[in-house]
Structure 1
């Protein structure tokens, strides 16, 4: 249940924040939040991370749908079980769906979060995907450690 709730929360926060930016900021507008550590700058990304593959955003929307399908498949198979994996998959699915919706409906992803100076620009979906990837690694390391312990006990 954690997976579904977290996916929905991430999706709602992501889409809500992007809606706010699109309706309250002009393209390229800069807003100080916690300078020099954090500011908002409205940007439309028609590609992938770090501005790569500009104009090919729709393909990444299809890729996101495939990733969501793979995660749901492995959840049903019981591979992604446990709280860490629930959180990891929830963050990844919510973030992937958030960016996929932007790509399908607008042809671009709304980015606006800038950490520090020149570290790239992102949105809440990107943050969630990164958090999910880190949690996925932690979950796999914990599972590997548990399996080694149970194997050495036998």
Structure 2
């Protein structure tokens, strides 16, 4: 358990660090545009697709309580945590990075804007890492059911 927790914490810190490092460049003015994709700075006051933005400042505290609550639940489900510790490191590192943005910048720093063929929500590296972490969890669950 200690080894898995340590590795999960390292992955957490790496994911958090890389995301904050990228956001530093975006906040310093880095931008880029093409016909399909743009790098533009947006502060998202809500969650995905700006949902729940009506909660204002309370959203960051709600999210922080939720992430701590889920972390405590996971640690109590040792077997599930041990099978998926790396995915949880990714998910929690990315989620915490976005919450940190809310405390520091008043909203999540988003910057990747897909606009070819259709307009998609603006997102960031942490959002992609959360998707990857959840995808790993889902894939492992599906594969374990087929065995």
| Residue 82 of structure 2 corresponds to residue 77 of structure 1 | no
| Conservation of the 8 A alpha-carbon contact between 2:39 and 2:111 | yes
Q: Distance in 2 between matches of 1:52 and 1:101?
A: 18
Structure 1 63/141 Cα, relative in aligned 2: closer, same or farther at 3 Å? farther
Q: Does 1:45 align with 2:68?
A: no
Does the 8 Å contact 1:14/1:98 carry over to 2?
yes
Q: How far apart are the structure 1 equivalents of 2:75 and 2:36? A: 37
Residue matched to 1:87 = 86
Q: TM-score, length-normalised on structure 1?
A: 0.76
Following superposition, the deviation at residue 45 of structure 1 comes to 1.1
Offset at residue 75 of structure 1 (A):
3.5
**Aligned in 2, Cα 1:100/1:49: closer, same or farther, shift over 3 Å?**
same
Runs of 5+ unmatched residues, structure 2: 1-5
Which of structures 1 and 2 has the bigger CA Rg?
1
Distance 1:93 1:129, change over 3 A: same
Q: Which runs of 5+ in 1 are unaligned?
A: 147-154
**What is the alpha-carbon root mean square deviation over aligned residues?**
2.2
CA distance change for structure 1 residues 144 and 80 in 2, over 3 Å: closer, same or farther? farther
In the superposition, the TM-score normalised over structure 2's length comes to: 0.79
| Structure-2 change in CA distance of 1:57 and 1:95 (3 Å) | farther
Give the count of matched residue pairs. Answer: 138
1:3-25 deviation digits (Å, cap 9, x = unpaired): 11211111011111112211224
SS in 2 for 1:64: helix
For 1:60 and 1:88, how far apart are their aligned partners in 2?
24
